Amino acid sequence: MALNAEVEPVKNSRAHSYEATDIVVLEGLEPVRARPGMYIGSTGPSGLHHLVWEVVDNAVDEAMAGRADRIDVTLLGGGGCRVVDNGAGIPVEPHKQYPDVSSAELVLTTLHAGGKFGGASYKVSGGLHGVGVSVVNALSKRLILEIDRADKHHVAEFANGGNRKKALKVTGPAPRGRTGTTVTFWPDPKVFEDIEFRAQTVIERLQVMAFLNRGLEIRFSDERPGREQKMTFRYTGGIVDYVKHLNAAKESLFKKVCSFTQSEEDQEVEIALQWNTGFHESIHSFANGISTMEGGMHEEGFRKALTNAVNRYARAKGQLKEKDDNFLGEDIREGLTGIISVRLRDPQFEGQTKAKLGNVSIRSLVERATNEKLGDWLEENPREANQIVQKSLVAARARVAARTARDLTRRKSALDGAGLPGKLVDCSSRDPCESELFIVEGNSAGGSAKDARDPRTQAILPIRGKILNVERARIDKMLKNVEIQALISAIGGGVAEDFDLNKVRYHKVIVLADADVDGSHIRTLLLTLFFRQMKLLVEGGYVYVAQPPLYSTLVGKEKAYLKDDLAKARFTEDHPTHKAEFQRLKGLGEMDFNELRETTIDPARRSLLQVTVEQAAVADEVCSVLMGDDVELRRTFIQQNAKDVRFLDI
């Protein structure tokens, strides 16, 4: 065809018709099976564990309603999970709108069916979308429902995505007059990438639930062969105990914990605060027991009132003069560990993930309570109040110094031209969506990675040795570190409060280090930097850890690479007649570029682990334990997590 020739427009020959017969109506639980990610976020590990959270949240709702004081969660051999509460038990009578089915079966097989949309059964509840246990049923290969109510024990069974296998019926008397609900389910392997629960993930969530519900006893049991363990959580101090727990790995500024509550109409707020000598704020908020990782109105009200209350106190005591500027919120929050827990009748969450709270009324309540109660506490505790003010003064000076360091860094970058570190081997693409940055340990590995990469979309930044541990350093000291300067410049989004996700130059920032002790330390230091100073990078899903294989072996004339000892063991099981000789691979710097490309760089063959922050409070605690000064606490953490080490995602 000649250039500029006129061509008759034609319809796309591959276009499909769109008629009334093409409209598909999904009924019952079919929408969940068709699009599980819409309901549980993903079909990976987070989605798998979300099934447990949905059932546990229902049990916690019973506790918040005053009908339960104990929950038992058991991981079963064979991949199942059982959740038992001693609440009232789901109603078993036929429903007035659907007289042919029991109310309990309706709750298990119908989206948006439950007792949380009206009436007085639940004054507050975390499961307000009403899709929780029905989604669990839809995504399980088998689910058994047991209800103890009115001195009778009822049982129903469902299979293969929520299909009723055995209708609800009475099987005998309730044990010793017990009431409550038991849900036992087995996730469907056709839905999930992996159906094995991680014990520590479940334990961490259950402990948080116990902290948030003072006096509630939660028992955990792992009955899987080789992993047997039992734990019980019950906290009479509630969120005060939670703050002490989070600060256990840090040096507290003072021993007292400031705590207060206030309620009005159908909502209440409970807050606990304690400062430590560290440099990072750790404020975690919850609404009806649900972690609001993205904050919301309750956090807004607290932050504003906290800043006002401390500034008002400092001025009244003459510690801030007329000529002095007020402290900024970040000055006051340095080293603050705080829990904000609100309960309200009709929470407005943003989306099914419930990550942000939108109720304006709760902002007003939290702001009033903090202004009044925190102001009183400061007056009643002058020694601690003075320590808070003095720490804020030091933080304010450090903020000014950090601002100067940032400005100096920007001026240097402007003089250098492009503003990128000289050792960065950049990619040619300027589209962040397809661009990747490999942070490589050492110049020798950097050289191999440079030759192994795709120069169009893959950039290489070699770093020398171990970067500064930012857990123990203020931002002004951090910004003087040459390797951290290079990282900040290469990634492009800035740092701390100035960080802008829209300016990030690569949507995959990949940590590539040796699979030895030094490599693990380097990975941990880098992830601490990202979590503390570029948190949005982690929350946006931009941070990855490369997983170079530990072993290689020959299968015929082809070389096979095995990621770890577990992969090696599986290979041996799958090839019982194969006399394999396994070679332990050398460090990245000793791999030639072909081997590095084949095992670690090539997107078609590599193995990447995405770093996520599902529970900010837990991630904060782990960061403090692993990177803090308390050696004994770190040893205890490692010992407790040893059984789950193959799940460890840093």
| Nearest alpha-carbon partner for 388 in 442, 319, 437 | 319
Q: Which of 93, 376, 516, 590 is catalytic?
A: 516
Phi, psi of 156 (to 5 degrees): -135, 155
Q: Which of 407, 518, 592, 629 is catalytic?
A: 518
The two structure tokens encoding residue 460: 């290489």
| Nearest alpha-carbon partner for 235 in 275, 262, 261, 206 | 206
Q: Which residues of 451-480 are buried (b: 16+ CB within 10 A; e: fewer)?
A: ebbeeebbbbbbbeeebbebbebbbbbbbe
- Catalytic residue flag (residue 441): yes
CA angle 440, 442, 444 (to 5 degrees): 105
Q: Which of 61, 514, 598, 620 is catalytic?
A: 514
| Nearest alpha-carbon partner for 202 in 68, 2, 411, 56 | 56
- Catalytic residue flag (residue 564): no
Q: Which residues contact 249 (CB under 8 A, 6 or more apart)?
A: 621, 624, 625, 628, 630, 633
Do the beta carbons of residue 79 and residue 65 sit within 8 Å?
Answer: no
Q: How many CB atoms lie within 10 A of CB 67?
A: 17
- Catalytic residue flag (residue 518): yes
Residue that has been written with the tokens 């693409």 in this structure:
429
- Distance CA(525)–CA(471), nearest Å, equals 9
**Helix spans in 75-151 (H):** 103-109, 132-138
Q: Which residues contact 492 (CB under 8 A, 6 or more apart)?
A: 503, 504, 505, 506
Do the beta carbons of residue 606 and residue 599 sit within 8 Å?
Answer: yes
Sign of CA dihedral 550, 553, 558, 563: negative
- Distance CA(485)–CA(585), nearest Å, equals 32
The two structure tokens encoding residue 572: 């041996």
Sign of CA dihedral 565, 585, 469, 402: negative
- Catalytic residue flag (residue 514): yes
| Nearest alpha-carbon partner for 258 in 378, 126, 107 | 378
Residue type, 287: A
Q: Which of 85, 331, 334, 441 is catalytic?
A: 441
Show which residues are catalytic.
441, 514, 516, 518
